[in-house]
Amino acid sequence: MNKLEEALKNFPYQLILGSASPRRQELLKSLGFEFLNKPMKVDEEEWPRDLRAQEICIYLAEKKAAAYEELKEGELLITADTIVWCEGKVFNKPENFAAGKKMLESLSGKMHEVFTAVCLKSVNKQTVFFDESKVYFKKLKPEEIEYYLTNFSPYDKAGGYGVQDWIGYIGIEKIDGSFYNVMGLPVKKLFEELIKF
């Protein structure tokens, strides 16, 4: 058994993922860690309005961690939050078709930033970090936006789109930074932080 296998096998914490996102669950599982999934309900529209860019998702990731009150000795909670930031404005999850359409029209033909913050919390320690990716959209046609919203219902995704969905295949010209960060979990950084923790 090599050192990495040993570190994963003898990981000293029971991991708890505090997220309802199927993408985050899939990514954490793919890293090789076993975990329990316990999503929490937190109002993601509530944050101090003077916060900008990554400050927003850092605040929300820590807010989600604070909402989990059952943490026991030997457990390590992972919470995360992803935002889309474009031209000084935050794009969270769209409420409906009209909001999704407006978001995608705003992102069309532009570069935007995706920030994901992750909070790791045990009984006596807490750390938070974030990652940033730049996403470049082509100019989207109105029929492409409508087709995507009608057939893929991306209403649980920041910015109204999933990078791993149809719109990502046909609409994204390039990404500077981590693809998985845009999906909702910066897995490279998370892996390093977990091993360090």
Q: Mind telling me the catalytic residues? A: 81
Cα–chain-centroid distance for residue 124? Answer: 25
- What residues have CB less than 8 Å from 22, skipping those under 6 apart? none
Residue whose C-alpha is closest to residue 79's, from 108, 38, 110 = 38
Contact yes or no for 103/91 (Cβ under 8 A): yes
Question: Could you tell me the sign of the dihedral formed by the alpha carbons of 156, 159, 164, 170, in that order?
Answer: positive
